[in-house]
Amino acid sequence: MLRFPDINPDLIRIGPVHIRWYGLMYLAGFAASYYLVKRQITKKKLDITAEVLESLYFYLVISLIAGARLGYGVFYNLTYYLHNPLDIFAIWHGGMSFHGGLIGVIIGGYIFSRRKGINFLLISDLVTATAPIGLFLGRLGNFINGELYGRPSDLPWAMIFPSGGDIPRHPSQLYEAFFEGIVIFTVLWIVKDRFRREGFVTALFLILYGIARFFIEFFREPDPQLGFVIGSFSMGQVLCGAMVLAGSILLIINRRYRIKE
């Protein structure tokens, strides 16, 4: 069993003001994504100005936060938020859904692309190729917070999490950081310039993330207020199954036809 590295979730605390590692991870993820997308635009000589790119990321940040929060309410705690609807705005209480955030950025990115007259799948591929960086950092933030930990385990690297009782558990946040972050980023970054059809990188991300997260969920403790939703499958696995299906459909269409806006 390994000792959990008890890192203070607050990077800086001045009175009531808290700057947490988790929030910093979000900012670092967006900054890294912006930098790499800007490099891709320059390399590919795309007609997207710095001003347009900055506006795009403004849309994405707002869409991600709104989608992640609403998604958590709908997918993971619907009964509570139906009775306490105003609490959906209390993001400082925690509760963010990756799948909700994904839906949010898809909607926000699509609205932005229509307003600017830019191919949505082109933008999607550029941003998606960098998304695993944010996933990697976000899972590290979950680990520092001691949240979203794994199921009980007797493996040598199991840990006792502060809020997980006295039972050694899988450090599932680190599993996700590695596979959803490092592995998927490596694959997408290698193939992004080898397939020219818009939407391929997006489809591949949906499939790879869905598969990786689906299997890692077998090691992750289900949300206590929800538990398993279909047999021994968690809500995360159900949503990941939908991701794999959506990505597969997009990939099939991408291979048969050249998708254009």
Q: What is the pLDDT of residue 134?
A: 95
- 225 in a domain, yes or no? yes
Residue with tokens 């994405």: 60
* Nearest by Cα to 21 from 13, 32, 9: 9
- Give the pairing of strands 233-234 and 228-230: antiparallel
For 101-117, how does the pLDDT look when each residue is reduced to its tens digit (9 = 90+)? 999 999 999 999 999 99
Backbone dihedral region for residue 179 (phi beyond 0: left; psi -120 to 50: alpha; all else: beta): alpha
Q: How many domains does the chain have?
A: 1
Q: Which of 106, 118, 107 is nearest to 205 (CA)?
A: 106
The model's confidence at residue 258, banded by pLDDT at 50, 70 and 90, is low
Q: Is residue 12 included in any domain, yes or no? A: no
Using one digit for the tens of pLDDT, what is the confidence trace for 192-227? 988 778 899 999 999 999 999 999 999 999 988 888
Give a yes or no: residue 3 inside a domain: no
Q: Is residue 261 part of a domain?
A: no
Q: What is the pLDDT of residue 261?
A: 45
Alpha-carbon Rg for the chain in angstroms: 19
Q: Which domain holds residue 150?
A: 19-256
Mean of the per-residue pLDDT values of the chain: 91
Asked, for residue 202, whether it belongs to a domain, the answer is yes
Q: Establish if 5 belongs to a structural domain.
A: no
pLDDT at res. 257: 62
Average pLDDT estimate for 3-30: 82
> Does residue 150 sit within a domain?
yes
Lowest mean pLDDT among 49-58, 82-91, 123-132, 167-176: 82-91
pTM of the model: 0.91
Kindly state whether residue 14 falls inside one of the protein's structural domains: no
- CB-based contacts of 114, cutoff 8 Å, min separation 6: 120
pLDDT digits (tens, 9 = 90+) for 226-251: 889 999 999 999 999 999 999 999 99
DSSP of the chain, one letter per residue? -BPP----SEEEEETTEEEEHHHHHHHHHHHHHHHHHHHHHHHHT-S--HHHHHHHHHHHHHHHHHHHHHHHHHHH-HHHHHH-GGGGG-GGG----HHHHHHHHHHHHHHHHHHHT--HHHHHHHHHTTHHHHHHHHHHHHHHHT-S-B-B--STT-B--TTSTTS-B--HHHHHIIIIIIIHHHHHHHHTTT--STTHHHHHHHHHHHHHHHHHTTTBPPPTTT-EEETTEEHHHHHHHHHHHHHHHHHHHHHHS----
